[in-house]
Structure 1
Amino acid sequence: MSTPSAPDRRPSLPTRLARLGFGDAAGAERLLAEAGPAVTAELLDDLGTTPDPDLALRGLLPLLTGAERAGEAAALATALATEPAVRERLLAVLGVSSALADHLARHPSHWRVLRARKDMSEKDAEDEPPDGPEPRREFLEAVGADPDAGEPVARDASTETLGALRVAYRKHLLMLAGRDLTGELDVAEVAATLADLASAALTAGLAIARAQVPEHGTCRLAVIGMGKCGGRELNYVSDVDVIFVAEARDGHPEDAALRAATRLAAATMRACSATTPEGALWEVDAALRPEGKAGPLVRTLASHRAYYERWAKTWEFQALLKARPVAGDAELGARYAETIGPIVWRAAEGESFVEDVQAMRRRVEADLNQRNAEAARQLKLGPGGLRDVEFAVQLLQLVHGRSDESLRAADTLSALAALSRGGYVGRDDAAALASAYRFLRRVEHLVQLHRLRRTHMVPDDPAGLRRLGRALGLRTDPVGEFTALWRRHAREVRRLHEKLFYRPLLLAVARLPEEEARLTPDAARARLEALGYRDPAGALRHIQALTAGVSRRAAIQRTLLPVMLGWFADAPDPDAGLLGFRQVSDALGTTPWYLRLLRDDVTVAERMACVLGSSRYATDLLLRAPEAVAMLGRASELRPRPAPALRAEALAAVRRHTPDPDSPAATAASVSAEDAVTAVRAVRRRELFRVAVADLLGRLDPVEVGEALTDIAAVTLDAALRAAIGKIEVERRGPLPTAVAIVAMGRFGGHELGYGSDADLMFVHDPEPGADERDAASAAHAVAEEIRRLLALPAPDPPLRIDPDLRPEGKAGPLVRSLASYAAYYARWSEPWESQALLRADPLVGDAGLRERFRAVIDPVRWPEDGVGDDAVRQIRRLKARMESERLPRGVDRRLHLKLGPGGLSDVEWVAQLLQLRHAHHVPELRTTRTLAALDAAVGARLLDPEDAAELAEAWRLATRIRSAIVLVRGRPSDLLPTEHHHERSAVAHVLGYPSAGDLLEDYRRHARRARTVVERTFYG
């Protein structure tokens, strides 16, 4: 009998390929069949170790085919079999970079640059420098220039010459990638080598340019590397930022020499940036030169010095931190560095340094806080990205490098190490940030190597993420592990970005364990000043007071403050923010929920910092009622409360203090009324804070703010009226013989009150049947006077000033009139302006029946049956013109007056009111006291063009927002756009969301100008 053979237990090829990590096993099997014996079993196993085995195999086969054609097949096969370095480097490159695989397919002999020195022949090893061929020499030889000549000139500027430079450059890139991807080089060494390759390519580009510019001998030209090129931390694919400096050679006119130098510079840029059949190198970008793209491409050294000494902005000095001569005339480049270097470090002493630094921080924050889906994948600009690290380091260099020359390193990692050695950054923090930075740069290199394209975006496809994870040595779950690692580093960078600036400030002033290096007091003050604190010494005192000691409160503050100091720095007034925080913390320091709330809910702390650093008005309210901090934690608490709920709370407070009508002591009644109003003021204080915070956080529009403030004022007056009636009834030993109501007028009646508005109003009473009219009038007058007295009592809150001057006969008329007296007056004596004033009359407070009866009296006056005649219209127009000329304060720019200036609030409101006087009787929708509602109704009735109404409404909204912002910032009202105090002007612009005060002014003038054009046409005819 024959013995049965053992079953073949070897896995099938597709199964083996899948186990090796091939994603497309069937496709790989087809490719291997085409390759034949060239891909050995051992080589196949090694392919499975690459970041992307499918990509590596697809790149290997064209290389093998090309090597066959070029006579390199035998040597390549031998090297793959006997030289581990070649095999490891080549497969690592092929498993990451399809672009370099394509290069190898076109130039198969270039695999030789991947050989280790020990694997070369003795002759090859002698001819080759330790780190490979010197790129400058090779690049110059590639373009036909003599590397040993002082100013080498290429043979021509043909496509062939440009292509030769690109082939030589890609060969060096291949050599670098092989060593990079196998872990032989640190990320900093890779970046520095890339910068050196760029320098050598610029040198060859300049040689090509000399072939195009015959008069190149009239000038000397130096190329200054900027950005990552200057700092020797370049990416695989990146724009190369440069600045050109030139001077005339002896005996040559400067103008002619500069023209030649400009042609040379432009030709150099083209030689490097142009696309050829061999691809492109990278874009050469000269936009960082003085005056940017608007300035000349080439300047003399003297011109550069003059510009930086007189005109440069702080961000330009930040860019110059990395300036380094990289090509061209070495001696001129060295003089440039010697001349410009010291100017950089004097920049931080300039007057605008703090403002410029704040603007830079805001620009970076705007980049970091992008909310689109793409931003989450950004390695450079995303939250916790490379820009976050680089900006933090550069800003700290600018702040402290003035006095500490050891910080003047060009590259990020060296600068970070110097900051750590100098005590400006904690050692552990510096190490963690450097680790995160190296990781992010490594990932950036990998995503750029794939297709040799300029990108900072992490791929969103599983295959791309898997390739990245495996390239980083992650094998168990490459996608999940990479994503978790990346997010962890990004969070760490974001946390350390805040900690770099602010944690050392605590160590500078608090008696804490010496776990980290401390800033000196001078260095701490310098850092605070650079971050926008105008009184850094005072800020340090506040920090010390908040964090000193070993109490739980101090420990929590030490956790909170590094983050909050950053939020204060982002606000218009960091000093006020920190002071307010200390005051609130002192007031609530023993309250257990306060610090716990700030520690556990970052939203509360951030909102609190915004409010305290932006608004004196809101801060003063909070200091009077610090427990209101609690409302910052819930979005529902940052909406105005409904008027009925407010009224119920206020009247309940009044009832608790209502005097007994049978009390014999008038003094007790007076005290009770004052207590009642004091209780109501506490409600008002809290509600004003609620509205102010919601406004500052952008949760309310101007109409909602006006409605909310009107409700608060009406409720306060209602409560004061109840308290006053209670007091007078006690004094009279009986109920009032008359009903009393309060009619809101002006902006109060229009439900458009601002934070600093007076409450225009009128008092009306209506005697009870059978009551003595004189007694009723006396009682009503006593109530009105008591309301005025109660509301005028000294109090720390923003006052609610009442103004009864819009009553008939103004100040000369009685403070209180009966309903019958109002009816008689309006029937006999009313002027057109009084009909106009009644358009905004709204009986909001007091006896409900009387309020309705008053409306019945005034409706025919303000909405006359036949409208107003031409004489009345002319009178109204004359009154408006006289008001514009007489009421504007002397010496002010009328264009900046928000109320009476052209296109201001008054302009818009008078247009609406004239339309109401003319048409409200026939158009019921016009019967409203609100300005914007009247404009909408006029559009609906085709009395006003929709575009005109839109222009008027936008101007009104903007003027109203600015008025509110002025009060919020200053704590007191003004109708003028602030122009004298730069800090105040900038604060108002910041609160309104404008990048600068100039942007706010330009926007207001544009809207006001358009609105005035509409007013001229629709009001004056």
Structure 2
Amino acid sequence: MTEPRTSNRRPSLAGRLARLGFTDAGRAQRLVRDAETDGVRLDGPLLEALLGALGGTADPDLALSGLLRLLAAADEHGEGDGLRAALAAEDGTRDRLTAVLGVSAALGDHLVRHPAHWHVLRDHLAGHGDVRAELLAAVGARPGDADPVAASAGPDALVALRVAYRRRLLDLAGRDLIGSADVARVAAELADLAAAALEAGLAIARAEVPEHASCRLAVIGMGKCGGRELNYVSDVDVVFVAEARDGAAEDAALRTATKLAAATMRACSASTEEGSLWEVDAALRPEGKAGPLVRTLASHRAYYERWAKTWEFQALLKARPVAGDADLGARYLAAVAPIVWAAAEGEEFVEDVQAMRRRVEADLNRRSAEAERQLKLGPGGLRDVEFAVQLLQLVHGRTDETLHSPNTLATLAELSRGGYVGRDDAAALTSAYRFLRRVEHLLQLHRLRRTHLVPDDDADLRRLGRALGLRTDPITEFTALWRRHAREVRRLHEKLFYAPLLRAVARLPEEEARLTPEAARTRLEALGYGDPAGALRHIEALTAGVSRRAAIQRTLLPVMLGWFAAAPDPDAGLLGFRQVSDALGTTPWYLRLLRDDITVAERMAWVLGASRYATDLLLRAPDAVAMLAGDAELAPRPYDASRAEALAAVRRHAASPGADAGTAGTTAAEQAVTVVRALRRRELFRVAVADLLGLADVTAVGEALTDIAAVTVEAALRAATDAIEARTGEPLPTRMAVVAMGRFGGRELGYGSDADVMFVHDPIPGADERAAERAARAVAEELRRLLSLPAPDPPLAIDPDLRPEGRRGPLVRTLASYAAYYARWSEPWETQALLRADPIIGDPGLRERFRALIDPIRRPPGGIGDDAVRQIRRLKARMESERLPRGADPRLHTKLGPGGLSDVEWVAQLIQLRHAHEIPELRTTRTLAALDAAARAGLLDPDDAEVLAAAWKLATRIRGAVMLVRGRASDLLPTDNRSDRSAVARVLGHATSGDLLEDHRRCTRRARAVVERVFYGYEE
């Protein structure tokens, strides 16, 4: 047998290049071979090292082309051997050089023209040297002079300035692109480089203007230059300020200063064989382009004090002396700063800033079809971040000097630290701003051209994505990341910049009354707080410090203390308010609601002081405070809308990548149910507040709570089904439905009610019945598991004990199994339980077939017989004696006590069992509807029906109030805690707990009398 031959062929160079990320590997291979033919030496080890480095660049093809051109130029200028040695070494030179060449074609061209400049990328030279001194020396000026003068003002000086400038730019780009300088550091160094260039340009201007000594001239950096957040290629905004020197006449000095300023601008912006640096833009000066290029300090100050518009104060936030006379620059800044920070006191200041931003956006959208691709001015762009930060800075900086930085990121950090912007919002804005600036830098580096437009060319997008470290699918990943950041920026811009609260905050009087600790303690005692010392600690925590949030709290609390005192538990209300304020106090809409809508503040005080249940819900979702703004927000949400939202959440998780495995150890089904629970939490808060404020009666509350439970169970059923199908890899072989039972089926759920259910399934024709049963049982068990997972939310327990055979019976049955059981084995109590059965969830056809199955059972022709009636009466009597908790006072038990819920419901159900077959109006799962139908049919005296309905409503309301007040369910009126009993009474509208007890005794006594006569004395 012949041994198989093993190939010793090495992969081709083109193949290796393709795997390294070259898009045109054949061309790259030809370039390497042609270079060697042309005498550009690339020995084996060096080529190996270079290929690895080139493959890690943003554009390997561009990097290779640039590198080969540079090596050829270096050989011509005697730099080749040193360059090759550096490229072969294990320091950072190779990575810096290839990174630059893989991003910037313009800097690659610069290196070819000036091959010796590769040295600035060497490890021991990168980032070193005084940039100002270097650029001044390049134009022949002495850095140590007070007013440096260039050797000449001719073309050679301009070229030398540009060469020296780009040499430093190359150095910075090398550190930027390998990540040793972050985006903030890069922007700051670019601003410093621009300042040095302006200083060198001024030195050239002095060489052009012989009489320069007659004036002082300071160059004030504005915009991104002033803020030390400049781009690679950007207009450099400046303002010039001057004064006469040594007794010179002011007019003559200003003329000289104007010549100097104009010459400085030309020195930087003029075109040469080495190109230009950038445009110097002085349009931010007083009166803009219509005003004089240079003014004295007094003229600047007079203009800003009398004539400046709002946007001009905003522009001055960035002012910073960058070149020229340092003392004059410092005096300029000291003169204008107080004017800037007083600007926000203007009557329409905030509105003016907001209106200006809207005009800019409208103009951009009108002029540009590419607005959506604008990194700077487009929606979610850099300007959105900067304008939001600047407006907040101007509003709050009047009293907080930490906000006086001209730098966006530095100010944003201070806004977060000061509580003016939430930590998460600030972090999101910071992350997005850094990302957008990084993309802007990469775009401009490619050709060293001023651009803010995200390209639509795949090659450019690929280079951007790879430069950002995205490798799997650079174009798609970059686009998704950019869009996500833009959406987040736009959302936060709208939230912070256009918040109606800002004007109120800007105009908040400093002298507004505040509670001193001594006055607060006295008032707390007078208002009836149980723990004045504890309440005082909350007040101090809310009002301490100098933040705007604390100022607003100091304004609100004197009023709110009285509102808390009107609630059942003032201490709990104030504590809850502190907790919610800690979570939302820096959120603009929250402050607006509390300050500008006293209805919200008053309602909030009542809810927090009355209900631990509502407070706990609110603390888990503090933004639900917004619901307090109007009655419409507190109306129960339509069932279909809630259902659609919950099922959509389940679908999203089922369809998301990796949905079978989930994240952080959770399954897609668990994630989906977590979202659904959040929706349920929101709706529970809505209902609880409407209940507490008297906006929903007892029937509406039961209906709303039932809808919430039904939506939750249906969503959990969908999630459970998806999970089982994902686990088995095939569709469910059976149809399923969930039958609501008990109060769930009667649409009478309370805040603490379990969801009584039965599960029914019907195998799909042709499916294996055992497999169908296993699948249905797995879905039901998964549903119960999902809804029983530990969570801070109020639980929704699934109770299937009303199923045939109770706990001993199978969890899930087929429709045929239910039919067989009810035909042979069911007991009267099970027939009675079916009165409130409502198949509301699952397969529509199966639900209707189940309803058709049970209707003849719960509404037997001719009604139930006397034996069944006797059994029901005996069961009721035994339940009264056996199911009451040990030691409980039956008279205070709202469910099982005399005249309680059970008494009323059994009366209604007995009438239904006997007469629903002949009276369609009795065919309802609702207790009150059944009593009303019985009265209208003459089966129950209307007065008796009214007595029973009143007892049922009061008992239901008491159970709900106990849950709302305590945060835990109970069927007993509180007896062990006087404050709880009083609180329940107040929530129910009773003046005292004694009034509530009397009302309860009266209702239950009258109801019990009806029960004794109608239920136990029922005769043909």
Q: Compute the TM-score of the two structures, normalised by the length of structure 2.
A: 0.51
Displacement of 1:354 in angstroms is 3.4
Q: What is the rounded CA distance, in whole Å, between the counterparts of 1:528 and 1:495 in structure 2?
A: 25
Which secondary structure state, in structure 1, belongs to the residue aligned with residue 7 of structure 2? Answer: coil
Q: What is the rounded CA distance, in whole Å, between the counterparts of 1:288 and 1:567 in structure 2?
A: 36
Q: Does 1:51 align with 2:58?
A: yes
Partner of 1:220: 216
Q: 1:413 to 1:354 in 2, by over 3 A?
A: closer
Residue number among 462, 474, 480 corresponding to 2:476 in the alignment: 480
CA contact (8 A) 1:397 1:407 kept: yes
Partner of 2:298: 302
Residue number among 104, 110, 116 corresponding to 1:109 in the alignment: 116
Displacement of 1:491 in angstroms is 2.4
Opposite residue 106 of structure 2, the aligned amino acid is A
Q: What is the rounded CA distance, in whole Å, between the counterparts of 1:284 and 1:219 in structure 2?
A: 21
CA contact (8 A) 1:51 1:468 kept: yes
Q: What is the rounded CA distance, in whole Å, between the counterparts of 1:244 and 1:628 in structure 2?
A: 63
Q: 1:220 to 1:565 in 2, by over 3 A?
A: closer
Displacement of 1:365 in angstroms is 5.6
Displacement of 1:428 in angstroms is 3.1
Q: What is the rounded CA distance, in whole Å, between the counterparts of 1:624 and 1:495 in structure 2?
A: 25
Partner of 1:61: 68
Displacement of 1:278 in angstroms is 0.4
Q: 1:148 to 1:537 in 2, by over 3 A?
A: same
Q: 1:628 to 1:431 in 2, by over 3 A?
A: closer
Residue number among 255, 260, 263 corresponding to 2:256 in the alignment: 260
Partner of 1:415: 411
Q: What is the rounded CA distance, in whole Å, between the counterparts of 1:536 and 1:362 in structure 2?
A: 32
Q: What is the rounded CA distance, in whole Å, between the counterparts of 1:196 and 1:135 in structure 2?
A: 8
Opposite residue 382 of structure 2, the aligned amino acid is L
Q: What is the rounded CA distance, in whole Å, between the counterparts of 2:373 and 2:597 in structure 1?
A: 35
Residue number among 87, 99, 107 corresponding to 2:94 in the alignment: 87
Which secondary structure state, in structure 1, belongs to the residue aligned with residue 92 of structure 2? Answer: helix
Residue number among 170, 175, 180 corresponding to 2:176 in the alignment: 180
Displacement of 1:488 in angstroms is 2.1
Residue number among 400, 407, 410 corresponding to 1:404 in the alignment: 400
Opposite residue 44 of structure 1, the aligned amino acid is L
Q: Does 1:359 align with 2:366?
A: no
Opposite residue 176 of structure 2, the aligned amino acid is D
Note the 1:561-960 alignment, pairs <5 A: none
Displacement of 1:9 in angstroms is 3.3
Q: What is the rounded CA distance, in whole Å, between the counterparts of 1:425 and 1:504 in structure 2?
A: 13
Residue number among 198, 201, 215 corresponding to 1:202 in the alignment: 198
Displacement of 1:432 in angstroms is 2.7
Partner of 1:31: 31
Opposite residue 483 of structure 2, the aligned amino acid is R
Q: What is the rounded CA distance, in whole Å, between the counterparts of 1:151 and 1:341 in structure 2?
A: 26
Which secondary structure state, in structure 1, belongs to the residue aligned with residue 228 of structure 2? Answer: coil
Displacement of 1:623 in angstroms is 9.5
Partner of 2:911: none
Q: 1:111 to 1:13 in 2, by over 3 A?
A: same
Identity within the alignment, %: 65
For residues 692-717 of structure 1, what are the alpha-carbon distances to aligned partners after superposition, in whole Å with 9 as ceiling and x for unaligned? Answer: xxxxxxxxxxxxxxxxxxxxxxxxxx
Residue number among 83, 87, 107 corresponding to 1:76 in the alignment: 83
Displacement of 1:482 in angstroms is 1.6
Displacement of 1:23 in angstroms is 0.6
Partner of 1:349: 345
Q: 1:97 to 1:366 in 2, by over 3 A?
A: same
Which secondary structure state, in structure 2, belongs to the residue aligned with residue 84 of structure 1? Answer: coil
Q: 1:422 to 1:540 in 2, by over 3 A?
A: farther
Report the number of matched residues.
594
Q: 1:180 to 1:172 in 2, by over 3 A?
A: same
CA contact (8 A) 2:63 2:101 kept: yes
Partner of 2:868: none
CA contact (8 A) 2:100 2:177 kept: yes
For residues 41-72 of structure 1, what are the alpha-carbon distances to aligned partners after superposition, in whole Å with 9 as ceiling and x for unaligned? Answer: 32122211111101101211211111111111
Q: 1:561 to 1:416 in 2, by over 3 A?
A: closer
Q: What is the rounded CA distance, in whole Å, between the counterparts of 2:631 and 2:426 in structure 1?
A: 39
Displacement of 1:375 in angstroms is 2.1
Q: What is the rounded CA distance, in whole Å, between the counterparts of 1:140 and 1:421 in structure 2?
A: 40
Q: What is the rounded CA distance, in whole Å, between the counterparts of 2:633 and 2:438 in structure 1?
A: 52
CA contact (8 A) 1:423 1:519 kept: no
Q: Does 1:447 align with 2:443?
A: yes
Partner of 1:949: none
For residues 660-715 of structure 1, what are the alpha-carbon distances to aligned partners after superposition, in whole Å with 9 as ceiling and x for unaligned? Answer: xxxxxxxxxxxxxxxxxxxxxxxxxxxxxxxxxxxxxxxxxxxxxxxxxxxxxxxx
Opposite residue 406 of structure 1, the aligned amino acid is T
Partner of 1:165: 161
Q: Does 1:272 align with 2:250?
A: no
CA contact (8 A) 1:139 1:204 kept: yes
Q: 1:116 to 1:495 in 2, by over 3 A?
A: same
Q: 1:24 to 1:415 in 2, by over 3 A?
A: same
Q: 1:227 to 1:538 in 2, by over 3 A?
A: farther
Opposite residue 12 of structure 2, the aligned amino acid is S
CA contact (8 A) 1:399 1:527 kept: no
Q: 1:35 to 1:424 in 2, by over 3 A?
A: same
Opposite residue 226 of structure 1, the aligned amino acid is M
CA contact (8 A) 1:236 1:448 kept: yes
CA contact (8 A) 2:66 2:108 kept: yes
For residues 621-663 of structure 1, what are the alpha-carbon distances to aligned partners after superposition, in whole Å with 9 as ceiling and x for unaligned? Answer: x999999999xx9xxxxxxxxxxxxxxxxxxxxxxxxxxxxxx
Q: Does 1:330 align with 2:329?
A: no
Q: Does 1:42 align with 2:49?
A: yes
Q: What is the rounded CA distance, in whole Å, between the counterparts of 2:349 and 2:427 in structure 1?
A: 29
Displacement of 1:422 in angstroms is 1.7
Displacement of 1:494 in angstroms is 2.7
Displacement of 1:159 in angstroms is 2.1
RMSD over aligned CA atoms reads: 5.0
Which secondary structure state, in structure 2, belongs to the residue aligned with residue 38 of structure 1? Answer: coil
CA contact (8 A) 1:504 1:518 kept: no
Q: 1:560 to 1:5 in 2, by over 3 A?
A: closer
Residue number among 129, 132, 137 corresponding to 1:136 in the alignment: 132
Q: What is the rounded CA distance, in whole Å, between the counterparts of 1:84 and 1:200 in structure 2?
A: 30
Q: 1:413 to 1:563 in 2, by over 3 A?
A: closer
Which secondary structure state, in structure 2, belongs to the residue aligned with residue 14 of structure 1? Answer: helix
Displacement of 1:83 in angstroms is 4.7
Q: What is the rounded CA distance, in whole Å, between the counterparts of 2:635 and 2:603 in structure 1?
A: 9
CA contact (8 A) 1:238 1:454 kept: yes
Partner of 1:375: 371
Which secondary structure state, in structure 2, belongs to the residue aligned with residue 220 of structure 1? Answer: strand
Partner of 2:9: 9
Q: 1:579 to 1:489 in 2, by over 3 A?
A: same
Partner of 1:936: none
Q: 1:464 to 1:558 in 2, by over 3 A?
A: farther
Partner of 2:187: 191
Displacement of 1:78 in angstroms is 1.0
Q: What is the rounded CA distance, in whole Å, between the counterparts of 1:520 and 1:452 in structure 2?
A: 51
Partner of 1:651: none
Q: 1:399 to 1:564 in 2, by over 3 A?
A: closer
Which secondary structure state, in structure 1, belongs to the residue aligned with residue 469 of structure 2? Answer: coil
Partner of 1:1014: none
Displacement of 1:360 in angstroms is 3.6
Q: What is the rounded CA distance, in whole Å, between the counterparts of 2:544 and 2:347 in structure 1?
A: 23
Displacement of 1:114 in angstroms is 0.3
Opposite residue 33 of structure 2, the aligned amino acid is A
Partner of 1:465: 461
Note the 1:401-550 alignment, pairs <5 A: 401-500=397-496, 524=548
Q: What is the rounded CA distance, in whole Å, between the counterparts of 1:495 and 1:624 in structure 2?
A: 25
Which secondary structure state, in structure 2, belongs to the residue aligned with residue 256 of structure 1? Answer: helix
CA contact (8 A) 1:368 1:388 kept: no
Opposite residue 310 of structure 1, the aligned amino acid is R
Partner of 1:146: 142
Q: 1:626 to 1:454 in 2, by over 3 A?
A: same
